[in-house]
Chain A
Amino acid sequence: MVVLSKIATNDRHGENSLYFDGWKAYDMNPYHPTNNRDGVIQMGLAENQLCFDLSEDWIRKNPKASICTAEGVDEFKNIAIFQDYHGLPEFRQAVASFMGRVRGGRVKFDQERIVMSGGATGANELIMFCLADPGDAFLVPSPYYPAFDRDLGWRTGVQIVPVHCDSSNGFLITKAALEAAYEKAQEDNINIKGLLIANPSNPLGTVLDRETLKSLVSFVNEKNIHLVCDEIYAATLFSTPDFVSISEIMQEMEYCNPDLIHIVYSLSKDMGLPGFRVGIVYSYNDAVVSCGRKMSSFGLVSSQTQHLLAAMLSDEEFVGNFLEQSSKRLAKRHNVFTKGLAKAGITCLKSNAGLFVWMDLRRLLKEQTLEAEMALWHVIINEVKVNVSPGSSFHCSEPGWFRVCFANMDDETVEVALQRINAFVRQEKDGNNKAQGKRTKCLPKKLQLSFSFRRYDEGLMSPHMIMSPHSPHVPLSPLVRART
């Protein structure tokens, strides 16, 4: 047999991780409000499903934005042949303007610096190809989005050096921690090419304050390394403090080498459009823009999609209303959810952005270890029947934290989830024995019943619509979705 490449056969795609047990449980037994009320509720998926009505309404009212409608088909040919890797000018303009709006108009983005990519997944990989050689490393504060391991390192050969943050200071990134990580890397002969941060943070849901951002900029300037800011959650801010983009810091700081600063963006979270694969690399470094643009050939945004979104995002009234509504609805959902958790005696890290909360279950751990976290997690999946993401999957150094998504379901499902969690916590409180008893109940029986169960998308669609090409017998990993 001819051997495939190392990349094709190694594990750096990350999909063989144990963490996908939760997903498997969900895929085999997905919750449905009418057809499967006992199923597993998906709370591991960071999707923004709260504002589709607004987008749908806009599309209905703007048939010209589609090249398929009678009103828009005269553009069909021009759009269908457009494969220029600069992107449609109106698309770049609209994205630049949208990015500015999301930052409250405090920054203006130059459309000439907008580079397209295959979602933020493609953007993160692309920026690594531009900035680092195989074997080089990037510092990434933990906890961090699990798929960074794949996106930053799988095909690029770049390593991640985590900078561990913990609850002792609210998971803040400190200069000391960065320096320590950098020094250690030097000692280990690891060539650090840059620092990558996600702001707002996944999984924390918090934003970086101005001072921290400034200190990060000083740090990278001192070391002459890059700073990549993944701002994919920028418009998911739902309360104070304000989101401060690195682009604003750039404007404020007297000395900052622009060649070191790069932003990754996407419409997958802010607009809830992960299927459309709109990733953006925005760099202040001309050479990176130029090289990145050539590389974008490997993951251009479909011109049909560019055309639609150019119209949608340049509709200022729509954008203004969308951002306002989205923020309001996220705030409301976050409020309902955190209050519900509080009733159960569960606290979360105080957060003001993102599509999830960082839930603190440390006191429910038998001991403060990874194994105890995993044991608790399996209970949550199998007993509570809620798929949440354990902190260890985010490389969190402190056991007991879980990311729980709240924006990918309807209100009723949120209630059901809260009830289950409440019930579980009460039961845990009532003593271990009782809990032990419940845990020995045979789950597999239940799973068997649901084996022939057809896979439904959560909530509201007509049952015959099966999106997944696989039979429910084959569980899918979350990385199947480009970004979770």
Chain B
Amino acid sequence: MSLLSRKAICNTHGQDSSYFLGWQEYEKNPFDEVQNPNGIIQMGLAENQLSFDLLESWLANNPDVAGFKRDGNSIFRELALFQDYHGLPSFKKALVEFMAEIRGNRVTFDPSRIVLTAGATSANETLMFCLAEAGEAFLLPTPYYPGFDRDLKWRTGAEIVPIHCTSSNGFRITASALEEAYQEAEKRNLRVKGVLVTNPSNPLGTTMTRSELNLLIKFITAKNIHLISDEIYSGTVFNSPGFVSVMEVLKDGDYDKTEVWNRVHIVYSLSKDLGLPGFRVGAIYSNDDMVVAAATKMSSFGLVSSQTQYLLSALLSDKKFTKNYISENQKRLRKRQRMLVMGLGKAGISWLESNNAGLFCWVDMRHLLHSNTFEEEMELWKKIVYDVGLNISPGSSCHCTEPGWFRVCFANMSEATLNLAMQRLKNFVVEYSTANGHKRLHHSPKNSKKKSLTQWVFRLSSRDRDRESDR
């Protein structure tokens, strides 16, 4: 009899993936403008670090919040005691209004249908516990956020079956891909309970089109299954077309009178839009009373700190602030993405041009592969991490079916660092193209080209990773 549980022994937590291993390499040799200018630049971290000044200045103008005060009276005691899993009413109200504002107020949300959770990580897991038995499956379009393997499958025992999307049509979800995935699940004897999409997409950095959303709604209607729309990046849309939430499409199509209305659930978080991943603020929004009821009870296992709920309720209730923040944040993201893609362009690298959202760009490096294989993608990735000094995320870690794609983040560093990163990339491409197989690029002795991917993964996976996963 094993001393520990099966969950403790298996590696469904997915931490041995290359996605996380790149992080480890970064941690060993992190770039610093002054202390370590030759270090690895972190471009694998989807963080929004562009708008902290706006938050800090709001704090400076709202000293009451800092002192646990409301109207000059101390509410420390009340907050210290507040552990009601229904959440702070003022916070939920402010949160749903913020969500509506992000959607141009074309949809509104009912605060009693929001369930607060410790980050979207917890929200997604909780929804799985509510909607699927162990051994049942959710369909996810690829490429998808690597953390889903842990969040959706690890402790729940649920399965993920991929909906394959390819560059042939800009990675859009098609009816045939949906159907194929469903058949694949059936072949594997997995009962499909729903589809989970991330909109805007991580890692693609694109918003879903209305026709994709309509397609999904038709599909879940026909199959009588759920749809989870993880809209964690909804506030990071910086270019047209704007963000269309599945809720909007449902509303426009008068679906609120139908049964499918109850089968669509939204996941949200303040980690990306507001850049506050440390505060662990996630949410589930559902039109289904039973899901709200069950998820609310489950949220006991990961409530949001009352101290944090209070701070954010004050912040998000300030409509002047939210209006300015949303637009300013978008402006800055747009500018930063432009810098990145200009740099890519100079390096002769193309990217998914529909990139209009997210904190990253889906970059096409297929032309740099010696052959169209994932082994080659790994080799290229290793070069970029060790030789170029950029930690970017290989498409294979996102379950992309096409080798050669990489996710490159642009919102977690200064402009100067981004410029440097683009310079390094340009230099690398120039050398690489010139080399053309004849000239060997310098490799650090630790990483001989001969080492197979498998060996490398096993070696590094024995070490503990220290950073909570990026999205």
Interface residues of A (CB under 8 A from B): 1-2, 4-9, 13, 15, 47, 49, 52, 55-56, 59-60, 63, 66, 68-70, 72-73, 76-77, 79-86, 118-119, 121-122, 125, 129-134, 136, 150-151, 154-155, 191, 224, 226, 259-260, 268, 272-277, 285, 287-288, 290-291, 293-295, 297-305, 308, 457, 460-462, 465-470, 476, 479-483
Report whether A56 and B297 are in contact in the complex, using a CB–CB cutoff of 8 Å.
no
Measured CA separation A125–B298 after assembly (Å): 11
A-B contacts besides A56-B76, A274-B82, A304-B311, 9 pairs, CB < 8 Å:
A2-B263, A4-B130, A56-B68, A63-B67, A122-B301, A276-B80, A305-B305, A469-B111, A479-B85
**B309 nearest in chain A by CB position:** A275
Report whether B306 and A276 are in contact in the complex, using a CB–CB cutoff of 8 Å.
yes
Centre residue among A73, A118, A457 by max chain B CB count within 10 A: A118
Report whether A52 and B80 are in contact in the complex, using a CB–CB cutoff of 8 Å.
yes
Nearest-CB distance from A393 to chain B (Å)? Answer: 17
The contact of A299 among B122, B290, B464, by CB within 8 Å, is B122
Cβ of B56 within 8 Å of any chain A Cβ, yes or no, is: yes
Cβ of B388 within 8 Å of any chain A Cβ, yes or no, is: no
The contact of B277 among A83, A118, A150, A294, by CB within 8 Å, is A83
Report whether A80 and B276 are in contact in the complex, using a CB–CB cutoff of 8 Å.
yes
Measured CA separation A49–B81 after assembly (Å): 8
Which chain B residues (120-160) contact chain A, with CB distance < 8 Å?
121-122, 125, 129-134, 150, 154-155
Residues of chain B contacted by A304 (CB below 8 angstroms): 278-279, 305, 307-308, 311
Report whether A4 and B297 are in contact in the complex, using a CB–CB cutoff of 8 Å.
no
Report whether A277 and B304 are in contact in the complex, using a CB–CB cutoff of 8 Å.
yes
A-B contact pairs, 18 of them (CB 8 A): A2-B224, A4-B290, A6-B133, A8-B131, A59-B67, A59-B68, A73-B59, A76-B52, A83-B271, A84-B468, A85-B466, A285-B4, A298-B122, A298-B125, A300-B119, A305-B307, A305-B308, A476-B84
Measured CA separation A304–B79 after assembly (Å): 14
Measured CA separation A79–B80 after assembly (Å): 20
Report whether A131 and B4 are in contact in the complex, using a CB–CB cutoff of 8 Å.
yes
Report whether A1 and B82 are in contact in the complex, using a CB–CB cutoff of 8 Å.
no
Cβ of B326 within 8 Å of any chain A Cβ, yes or no, is: no
Measured CA separation A65–B460 after assembly (Å): 37
**B262 nearest in chain A by CB position:** A1
The contact of B66 among A68, A86, A276, A467, by CB within 8 Å, is A68
Measured CA separation A275–B309 after assembly (Å): 10
Q: Across chains A and B, which 6 residue pairs bring their CB atoms closest together, nearest first? A: A303-B278, A275-B306, A68-B66, A299-B302, A302-B305, A8-B294
Report whether A469 and B87 are in contact in the complex, using a CB–CB cutoff of 8 Å.
yes
Which chain B residues (320-344) contact chain A, with CB distance < 8 Å?
none
Residues of chain A contacted by B86 (CB below 8 angstroms): 468-470, 476, 480
The contact of A83 among B77, B129, B280, by CB within 8 Å, is B280
Report whether B80 and A298 are in contact in the complex, using a CB–CB cutoff of 8 Å.
no
Measured CA separation A13–B130 after assembly (Å): 12
Residues of chain B contacted by A6 (CB below 8 angstroms): 133
The contact of B73 among A60, A150, A462, by CB within 8 Å, is A462
Measured CA separation A336–B52 after assembly (Å): 52
Report whether A1 and B277 are in contact in the complex, using a CB–CB cutoff of 8 Å.
no
Report whether B81 and A300 are in contact in the complex, using a CB–CB cutoff of 8 Å.
no
Residues of chain B contacted by A290 (CB below 8 angstroms): 464
Measured CA separation A29–B2 after assembly (Å): 51
Report whether B307 and A308 are in contact in the complex, using a CB–CB cutoff of 8 Å.
yes
Residues of chain B contacted by A76 (CB below 8 angstroms): 52, 55-56, 59
Residues of chain A contacted by B87 (CB below 8 angstroms): 469
Report whether A300 and B88 are in contact in the complex, using a CB–CB cutoff of 8 Å.
no
With A4-B291, A7-B130, A301-B305 as contacts: A130 and B275 at CB distance below 8 Å:
no
Nearest-CB distance from B218 to chain A (Å)? Answer: 16
Report whether A295 and B155 are in contact in the complex, using a CB–CB cutoff of 8 Å.
yes
Report whether A77 and B49 are in contact in the complex, using a CB–CB cutoff of 8 Å.
yes
Nearest-CB distance from B469 to chain A (Å)? Answer: 7
Measured CA separation A60–B65 after assembly (Å): 13
Measured CA separation A70–B87 after assembly (Å): 28
The contact of A303 among B3, B70, B76, B279, by CB within 8 Å, is B279
Measured CA separation A293–B73 after assembly (Å): 38
Centre residue among B4, B82, B290, B306 by max chain A CB count within 10 A: B4
Cβ of B174 within 8 Å of any chain A Cβ, yes or no, is: no
The contact of B302 among A8, A55, A118, by CB within 8 Å, is A118
**Number of residues in B with C-beta < 8 Å to the partner?**
91
Residues of chain B contacted by A1 (CB below 8 angstroms): 259, 262
Report whether B277 and A70 are in contact in the complex, using a CB–CB cutoff of 8 Å.
no
With A80-B52, A276-B305, A483-B83 as contacts: A297 and B290 at CB distance below 8 Å:
no
With A288-B8, A467-B84, A469-B89 as contacts: A56 and B77 at CB distance below 8 Å:
yes
Measured CA separation A125–B155 after assembly (Å): 11
Report whether A275 and B81 are in contact in the complex, using a CB–CB cutoff of 8 Å.
yes
Cβ of B366 within 8 Å of any chain A Cβ, yes or no, is: no
With A7-B129, A9-B294, A68-B59 as contacts: A131 and B8 at CB distance below 8 Å:
yes
Nearest-CB distance from A157 to chain B (Å)? Answer: 9
Report whether B81 and A302 are in contact in the complex, using a CB–CB cutoff of 8 Å.
no
Measured CA separation A305–B305 after assembly (Å): 7
Measured CA separation A166–B184 after assembly (Å): 57
Centre residue among B3, B79, B81, B464 by max chain A CB count within 10 A: B81
Report whether A275 and B82 are in contact in the complex, using a CB–CB cutoff of 8 Å.
yes
**A14 nearest in chain B by CB position:** B297
Residues of chain A contacted by B150 (CB below 8 angstroms): 294, 297
Residues of chain B contacted by A481 (CB below 8 angstroms): 83-85
Q: What string of 1s and 0s marks CB contacts (under 8 Å) between B418-448 and chain A?
A: 0000000000000000000000000000000
Residues of chain B contacted by A151 (CB below 8 angstroms): 301
With A68-B311, A297-B468, A482-B83 as contacts: A302 and B304 at CB distance below 8 Å:
yes
Cβ of B6 within 8 Å of any chain A Cβ, yes or no, is: yes
Nearest-CB distance from B15 to chain A (Å)? Answer: 6
Measured CA separation A305–B306 after assembly (Å): 9
Report whether B155 and A302 are in contact in the complex, using a CB–CB cutoff of 8 Å.
no
Residues of chain A contacted by B467 (CB below 8 angstroms): 83-85
Nearest-CB distance from B406 to chain A (Å)? Answer: 23
Measured CA separation A268–B88 after assembly (Å): 18
Which chain B residues (268-320) contact chain A, with CB distance < 8 Å?
271, 275-280, 290-291, 294-295, 297-298, 300-308, 311
Report whether A469 and B76 are in contact in the complex, using a CB–CB cutoff of 8 Å.
no
Residues of chain A contacted by B307 (CB below 8 angstroms): 275-276, 302, 304-305, 308
Cβ of B7 within 8 Å of any chain A Cβ, yes or no, is: yes
Cβ of B13 within 8 Å of any chain A Cβ, yes or no, is: yes
Residues of chain B contacted by A298 (CB below 8 angstroms): 118, 121-122, 125, 155, 301-302
Nearest-CB distance from A69 to chain B (Å)? Answer: 4
Nearest-CB distance from B94 to chain A (Å)? Answer: 13
Report whether B83 and A8 are in contact in the complex, using a CB–CB cutoff of 8 Å.
no
Report whether A274 and B81 are in contact in the complex, using a CB–CB cutoff of 8 Å.
yes
Measured CA separation A290–B466 after assembly (Å): 10
Cβ of B78 within 8 Å of any chain A Cβ, yes or no, is: yes
The contact of B82 among A7, A301, A467, by CB within 8 Å, is A467
The contact of A272 among B81, B112, B129, B468, by CB within 8 Å, is B81
With A287-B8, A305-B305, A469-B87 as contacts: A4 and B131 at CB distance below 8 Å:
yes
Measured CA separation A1–B297 after assembly (Å): 22
Residues of chain A contacted by B311 (CB below 8 angstroms): 68, 304
Residues of chain B contacted by A300 (CB below 8 angstroms): 118-119, 280, 468
Report whether B290 and A52 are in contact in the complex, using a CB–CB cutoff of 8 Å.
no
The contact of A291 among B4, B82, B122, by CB within 8 Å, is B4
The contact of B76 among A52, A299, A479, by CB within 8 Å, is A52
Measured CA separation A8–B126 after assembly (Å): 10
Report whether B280 and A73 are in contact in the complex, using a CB–CB cutoff of 8 Å.
no
**A290 nearest in chain B by CB position:** B464
Report whether B5 and A56 are in contact in the complex, using a CB–CB cutoff of 8 Å.
no
Report whether B303 and A118 are in contact in the complex, using a CB–CB cutoff of 8 Å.
yes
